[in-house]
Structure 1
Amino acid sequence: MSTLIERLARLDSCAVSDAKDSLGLSAAVSGLGRKSGQGVLAGRVKTVQLAAGKPPADAPKVHLGARAIVAADAETVIVVAHPGIDAGGWGGVLSTGAQIAGVRGVVVDGPIRDADEAAGLGFAIFSRTTTARTARGRVYEVSTGAPVSIGGEAVADGDYVIADGSGVVFIRAADIEPVLAAAEKIAAREAAMVAALRQGRPITEVMGANYETMLEVKS
């Protein structure tokens, strides 16, 4: 039997976003684009919260993101809530460390740096933008594993995420089963529509009633 992550990885962000729409759930987070890696990134969230400024004097002397890598497992996608200033919320040494630890990829709601280095590793990163500016003295880590907000979406440790060339979608752990079931039905409908087009049916017929009722997922 396929695991939930395996099922999620066989889908795409659009089908999952549509499934969440059909269930009355908030859908995709816009503006988080692929900076490195290929294909579909799917896994379970390990959160990191960053803040602008210098760390408090009594803060642990640990590089941002390092604790998330140590806490990760083979299902982990690290998700970083960034304060939005022009300073990298993820970098090349972190990408190498994360890949060695088996992390599937990273999503950063802000800028990252060393994008070419991550691309050379084949390590998946999605972010708002890129920068060459260091986080040193500009950004520090507040927490690992606490709830965060990504693009206005509440995201918790252990939630699910799918990211690809179209966008990033988070799924609450409590919602994963119904979202997967709905997304699989939507994907199957789209595949049937494509097959019909290849068999010569007119696109006006194929994308008529079927397309307009795509989100009406029935049991």
Structure 2
Amino acid sequence: LKRADGLSDRITDVDSSLRVGARVVMADLITDERIRRHFPALVEAARVVGSMQIRHRATLAGNICNASPAADTAPALLVYGALVNVIGRSGARRVPVVDFFTGPGKTVLAPDEMVAAIDLPMPAVPVGAAFGRLTRRRGVDLASLNVCCLVTPSGKARIALGAVAPRPVLIQEDDGDAMMDRVMAQSSPISDVRASREYRTAMLPVFIRRTLQIAKDRLQRARA
């Protein structure tokens, strides 16, 4: 990536979005004041990606291209409605991040394509968002499950989940409190070295309610 022409290591204002270049590392994403102000849940997710040393090398683009179902930044990008800028031999295209993942380790990228940048549309109204994750231990660990919730002043909510299905899941609903049935229906946890299917299924609603409440509290403070 360092030798590729046209790939930026900057976060820039483009129209009504913040554009995160493909070479922007997690450490720079976390400290950018614009990202912190408008996309705090993404900052929370980026903070738990690997160790400090990894965050100074790993990029946001790389995290989604890896396409792990447990990728921590994916749920945050989903609730914020991110768009992925893709370039290849045939030209450029923009892909909503909700359509970017196709399965474990798989994306819509063709063999000759790569991610050039990720666009984060600026919220048109105050929103509250929060990120949460369950791990086996403190410190560096892959998530057993992760959750990101966003709520709007009208009561609409978006909930994105990781590590509970073959790809990250996004659910949108007019009533955030009525989403649980849809959430559970669209999740299909598996048993692996990090957690059993039964444990993930039991903990998922706990983490959703907890994260959703934090998002609501943040919205209330933003409107105060």
Taking structure 2 as the reference length, the TM-score comes to 0.24
Query: Which of the pair has the greater relative contact order for Cα pairs under 8 Å at 6+ separation?
Result: 1
Say which one has the larger Rg: 1
Taking structure 1 as the reference length, the TM-score comes to 0.25
